[in-house]
Amino acid sequence: KAGVTQTPRYLIKTRGQQVTLSCSPISGHRSVSWYQQTPGQGLQFLFEYFSETQRNKGNFPGRFSGRQFSNSRSEMNVSTLELGDSALYLCASSLLAGGAGTQYFGPGTRLTVL
Amino acid sequence: DQQVKQNSPSLSVQEGRISILNCDYTNSMFDYFLWYKKYPAEGPTFLISISSIKDKNEDGRFTVFLNKSAKHLSLHIVPSQPGDSAVYFCAASRSLNNAGNMLTFGGGTRLMVKP
């Protein structure tokens, strides 16, 4: 089976712009979660989608949003980019809906905000 | 507040010896724990997990121990190999169906295995 794929792998944007990142989960996985990794804050949960519904949301401002499509593919969007949004954005997919499902991560999208 | 902590930012071990990575948590609602290995600019790779109904889980060279009363878990790698050199993250979640798939990560421990 193919793993979790994320596009693009690298992105450079300027402050004030918006960005959309894409994630395709492992085939058959219906849960997709997004995480942000920064040197200062570590790995932090952004949100999770299951069957096109947001189930959980982390402590991030409303500029961060996401959605999931009927084929389980997910996108996250960040509007009005700030310098502090520079990070590695990771997507993870899981077979199970509950928290006991192992999450498998994609390679991430490296976002740089100038 | 950090609900999952890895107090050792780095660990250096000789090849062939045991590596012990530690993790502490504060939230008693966590009942499912995972260890991930991560290389720079890559996503975390799942290593091993343990449910709170167990106190030990083994998978090849990797063993995870859980001490619920102390809210402490550890990952043992025996024998350590140079290819094990990476950053290791512990993560915790709640396994209730309505809790969703939200992982809370520790800050990571960089393991260096010297040949």
- Nearest chain B Cα to A108, which residue? B43
What are B's interface residues with A at a Cβ cutoff of 8 A? 32, 34, 36, 41-46, 49, 51, 89, 91, 93-108
pLDDT of residue B66: 97
Which tokens sit at B16?
A: 């062939």
Question: For every one of its 115 residues, what pLDDT tens digit does chain B have, with 9 covering 90 and above?
Answer: 789 999 999 999 999 999 999 999 999 989 899 999 999 878 999 999 999 999 999 999 999 999 999 999 999 999 999 999 999 999 998 876 556 678 899 999 999 999 9
Across the interface, whether the CB atoms of B101 and A98 are under 8 A apart is answered yes
Across the interface, whether the CB atoms of B101 and A92 are under 8 A apart is answered yes
Across the interface, whether the CB atoms of B108 and A42 are under 8 A apart is answered yes
pLDDT of residue A1: 67
Query: How far does the CA of residue A8 sit from the closest CA of chain B (Å)?
Result: 13
Best probe of the B interface among A102, A104, A109, A110, by most B CBs < 10 A, is A102
- Nearest chain B Cα to A93, which residue? B101
Best probe of the B interface among A55, A68, A96, A105, by most B CBs < 10 A, is A105
Across the interface, whether the CB atoms of A48 and B102 are under 8 A apart is answered yes
pLDDT of residue A96: 76
pLDDT tens profile B8-28 = 999 999 999 999 999 999 999
- Nearest chain B Cα to A106, which residue? B43
Across the interface, whether the CB atoms of A43 and B89 are under 8 A apart is answered yes
Across the interface, whether the CB atoms of A33 and B101 are under 8 A apart is answered yes
State the Cα–Cα distance between residues A3 and B38, nearest whole angstrom. 16
State the Cα–Cα distance between residues B18 and A58, nearest whole angstrom. 36
Beta bridge partners of A22: A7, A75
pLDDT tens profile A67-85 = 999 999 999 999 999 999 9
- Whether residue A2 contacts residue A104, with contact meaning beta carbons closer than 8 Å, is answered with no
A63: left (phi over 0), alpha (psi -120 to 50) or beta: alpha
Q: How many CA atoms lie within 13 A of B91 on its CB side?
A: 31
